[in-house]
Amino acid sequence: MMLTRQQTFAALAATVTVTFLPRRAPAANVVLHVGSSLEDDVSPLLLAAANGTFARLGLEVQPQAIASGAAGAAAVAGGSLEFCKSSLLALVSAHARNVPFVIVAPGSYTSDADPIAQLVVARSSPIRTAKDFNGKTLGTSSLRDVKMISAMEWIDQHGGDSRTLKFVEVPNSTIVAALEDGRIAGATVLNPVLADGLETGRIRAIGPAFDAIAPRWLVTAWFTTRDYAARNPEIVKKFVQALREASAAVNAHPAQAASVLAPFLHDDAARIAKMKRSPLGVDLDVKEIQPVIDVAARYRVIDKAFPASELIAALPR
């Protein structure tokens, strides 16, 4: 079909207009500030930030070390961190006090098939059974934490009486020395303190204290505020997706995350690669949260138990 002169100029004008439209700049990734204490189960966050998993999903994650769980909770509540990793018991206690935190993803878990904590004594200690702890003083990094209640539960289940125990706060870095000096009779410890103490022969394991809570339960979890999760469901969904992928990768090849974990922990990559690592959760399961709530209520860390589902953020599918 022959075009008229007017039609030809109109077609050329349209072509020129389309050709020279300015290109849109790519949308900037959403920046997230995410906190964690210096523990090996931060590895999925670091790996996903280093290998481009977060970037592929439109997120720029900036990991930040926090001094304590309380500092992380305050930062999330104040908005300077969008997400943080915490012990599950701390989140259970916060919920019981009506602090509006919600769990978005699992951190590490423990199971009777792969225990990550032991109730230990000094190598020279005469203690051999749960009953031997009766009337003794035990150490814990923080009073009313999961190490404390797991020790109480294990001792009660194995013939001792937790009502006779006394607990004092001892930093993780000095807990082996406190055992050797006789300042405390026992303590529940995790890696790297556990691995180092057993390897050097300075401590002796009495029993897997965490197993007393349940055959498998969540030890740590990633959380945000209920308000942030409600206002940013797609961001939360992408954050969780990246953690899920990275957690599965670290579980399959834990040594490969040593290079990103070492700078964050201020430790040696070769040492971390050989160290027994915490198994990581991939999906949230209320059955791995409820036992901690129930034991916390039994030992009066919280006033009463509640359904674990109340702690979990509602995310879009």
DSSP reduced 3-state for 294: helix
Is the pLDDT score of 154 beyond 80? yes
The arithmetic mean of pLDDT across residues 200-221, rounded, is: 96
Is the pLDDT score of 10 beyond 70? no
The Cα 35–Cα 61 span in angstroms is 10
User: What is the reported pLDDT for 27?
Assistant: 59
Most confident of the following: 35-39, 42-46, 255-259: 42-46
In terms of Cβ atoms closer than 10 Å to its own Cβ (0-12, 13-18, 19+), residue 6 is exposed
Is the pLDDT score of 7 beyond 50? no
Mean pLDDT, all residues of the chain: 89
Helices (H) and strands (E) in the chain, counts: 13, 12
**pTM (2 decimals)?**
0.84
Q: What is the DSSP letter of 29?
A: P
User: What is the reported pLDDT for 23?
Assistant: 46
The arithmetic mean of pLDDT across residues 251-264, rounded, is: 89
Q: What is the pLDDT of residues 165-200, one digit of tens each?
A: 999 999 888 999 999 999 999 999 987 788 889 999
Residues pairing with 204 in the sheet: 121
Is the pLDDT score of 257 beyond 60? yes
Is the pLDDT score of 222 beyond 70? yes
Percent of the chain beyond pLDDT 70? 91
Residue 65: what are its φ and ψ, rounded to 5°? -80, 140
User: What is the reported pLDDT for 274?
Assistant: 79
pLDDT band at 8 (very low <50, low <70, confident <90, very high): very low
Q: Which CATH architecture describes the domain 117-214?
A: 3-Layer(aba) Sandwich (3.40)
Q: What is the pLDDT of residues 54-111, one digit of tens each?
A: 999 999 999 999 988 888 999 999 999 999 999 999 999 999 999 999 999 999 999 9
The Cα 140–Cα 187 span in angstroms is 6
User: What is the reported pLDDT for 104?
Assistant: 98
Residues 207 and 157: beta-carbon distance below 8 Å: no
User: What is the reported pLDDT for 216?
Assistant: 95
Residues 62 and 34: beta-carbon distance below 8 Å: yes
Residues 43 and 260: beta-carbon distance below 8 Å: yes
User: What is the reported pLDDT for 218?
Assistant: 96
User: What is the reported pLDDT for 60?
Assistant: 96
Q: Which CATH architecture describes the domain 30-109+217-311?
A: 3-Layer(aba) Sandwich (3.40)
The arithmetic mean of pLDDT across residues 206-233, rounded, is: 96
DSSP reduced 3-state for 223: strand
Residues of the chain with CATH 3.40.190.10: 30-109+217-311, 117-214
The arithmetic mean of pLDDT across residues 238-252, rounded, is: 96
Residues 219 and 108: beta-carbon distance below 8 Å: yes
- Reading the block at residue 310, the tokens are 């109340």
Q: What is the pLDDT of residues 126-135, one digit of tens each?
A: 999 999 999 9
